[in-house]
Chain A
Amino acid sequence: DTAVSQTPKYLVTQMGNDKSIKCEQNLGHDTMYWYKQDSKKFLKIMFSYNNKELIINETVPNRFSPKSPDKAHLNLHINSLELGDSAVYFCASSQGAGLGGQPQHFGDGTRLSIL
């Protein structure tokens, strides 16, 4: 009965590779997010989608491409991985843009390590 699930939990790969992280939520929410947590634990928004439409893109490099096939899924594809991409990536979801400060529910995170 996991609410927001991300796969994989750990991802170790070489510089220059392309990888994807998948996220699914079963809460019936219509807004989903990707956050990046760096080595100093700082969390920063990357993207958000509402009903499959991109509504926030926080100056993330073009190598990062989110895709939302439906409102329950938001995947993150990363091309040409760089050392600086090493981080924990969190997916989150909430009910409704415009409903006023609904809490965001987070997945368990994906730790991406670039060798």
Chain B
Amino acid sequence: NAGVTQTPKFRVLKTGQSMTLLCAQDMNHEYMYWYRQDPGMGLRLIHYSVGEGTTAKGEVPDGYNVSRLKKQNFLLGLESAAPSQTSVYFCASKESGPADTQYFGPGTRLTVL
């Protein structure tokens, strides 16, 4: 099993450009999450999904959109990138139990110039 994978690993964008980050998991997990991690701050939840076809907003959803068309994939879109979105983005997944462990992907390092 590959676990949770993320594409791409690194990306540099110019302000105003758009991009999509892809997260894939092969563990048949119901829940999937997108976080961002910035220096000196805890992981912050952007959006999450409790199952195929569902999405919900997290703590910092502005400027991002998501889709979960297939159970194994969770896409994070930036429509018009801003320098404030420079960050490391982590995807995570877990089974459906409320206290189940989240498993993280390797992260995407995004720089917006």
Query: Do A and B truly interact?
Result: no
Seen from chain A, the residues whose Cβ lies within 8 Å of a Cβ on chain B are none
